[in-house]
């Protein structure tokens, strides 16, 4: 592991310095693109690493911030996910990320880019709770739910969600086979918690006896953990973003991905 000095100037700007010679080496940089100061740190690290002329540089972005802004909704807006993808892949040999909200954004990469799944890690941690049903809160997370259900050998289904704005989601009524069951809702991100709260209401109304939630990226904005804890029987996230619910590590998945060279 290279010795890296990271600090902030009095005006808040970032400073990085790498104290080891990386010439000819295979270098892995691990940094999120969220919150914004981490993105700047990542770009500075890539520049500092490139100065050493390494053999390869792999940029690992466990939580890819801005990935949900993958469209231009109004004239004059950027496609933020495209902007970040382009900039983070300009000075790296490869980029690896986990449970990207919309994997097609990687098509904007300047270098090879891969999305890997954190769901095997979620499934490992879920074993302890022994759920007998896995639920995806919307169609977009069905692939995640099926990976977990396959690992645990249990049934799965999805609900139909419509997002009205950043904070408001509505769930269409849909029958799911959860009466008397212990259900785990899995999702890529929990942000405001609105999605999980609406899904939990539907599950309880349909007779689920136990409802918990697990996600890869626990953003938990604006007191989401405090809103979720009273309505859920359990809640955890991985360590792509550290918070009080980060129970499971995706280090194994990342190490495996790094061994499989592109
Ligand atoms: C969106 O489709 C994602 O998969 C998550 O369901 C969403 O980001 C969760 O957001 P929130 O917790 O604010 O409802």
**Tens digit of each residue's pLDDT (9 = 90 or more) over 228-237:** 999 999 999 9
* Tokens describing residue 137: 């809160």
Q: DSSP label at 170?
A: E
Give alpha helix (H) positions in the chain. Answer: 36-51, 80-88, 119-126, 142-152, 194-205, 224-228, 251-259
* Residue 145 main-chain phi, psi, to 5 deg: -60, -40
Please work out whether the CB of residue 135 comes within 6 Å of at least one atom of ligand 1: no
Residue at token pair 């009273």: 230
Told to judge if 161 belongs to the known catalytic residues of this protein, a careful annotator would answer yes
Q: Can you give the pTM of this predicted structure? A: 0.95
Taking the CA atoms of the chain, what radius of gyration do you get in angstroms? 20
DSSP assignment, residue 230?
T
Considering the candidates 161, 172, 181, 182, report the single residue annotated as catalytic.
161
218 lines ligand 1 (CB under 6 A): no
pLDDT tens profile 55-84? 999 999 999 999 999 999 899 999 999 999
Atom of ligand 1 nearest to the CA of 193: 12
Confidence category of residue 137, pLDDT binned at 50, 70, 90 = very high
């Amino acid at each position: 592991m290279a010795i890296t000095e990271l600090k902030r100037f009095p005006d808040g700007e970032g400073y990085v310095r790498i104290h080891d010679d990386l010439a000819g080496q295979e270098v892995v940089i691990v940094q999120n693109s969220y919150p914004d100061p981490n993105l700047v740190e990542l770009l500075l690290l890539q520049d500092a690493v490139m100065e050493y002329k390494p053999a390869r540089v792999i940029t690992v972005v466990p939580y890819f911030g801005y990935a949900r802004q993958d469209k231009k909704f109004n004239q004059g807006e950027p496609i933020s996910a495209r902007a970040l993808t382009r900039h983070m892949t300009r000075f790296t040999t490869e980029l690896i990320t986990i449970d990207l909200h919309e994997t097609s954004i990687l098509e904007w990469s300047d270098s090879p880019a891969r999305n890997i799944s954190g769901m095997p890690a979620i499934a490992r941690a879920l074993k302890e709770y022994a759920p007998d049903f896995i639920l995806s809160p919307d169609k977009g997370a069905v692939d995640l739910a099926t990976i977990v259900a396959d690992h645990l050998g249990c049934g799965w289904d999805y609900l139909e969600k419509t997002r009205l704005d950043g904070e408001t989601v509505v769930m269409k009524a849909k029958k799911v086979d959860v009466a008397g069951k212990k259900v785990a809702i899995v999702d890529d991100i929990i942000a405001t918690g609105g999605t999980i709260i609406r899904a939990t209401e539907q599950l309880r109304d349909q007779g689920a006896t136990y409802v918990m939630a697990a996600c890869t990226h626990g953003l938990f904005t604006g007191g989401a953990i405090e809103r979720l804890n009273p309505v859920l029987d359990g809640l955890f996230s991985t360590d792509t973003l550290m918070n009080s619910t980060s129970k499971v590590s995706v280090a194994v998945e990342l190490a495996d991905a790094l061994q499989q060279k592109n």
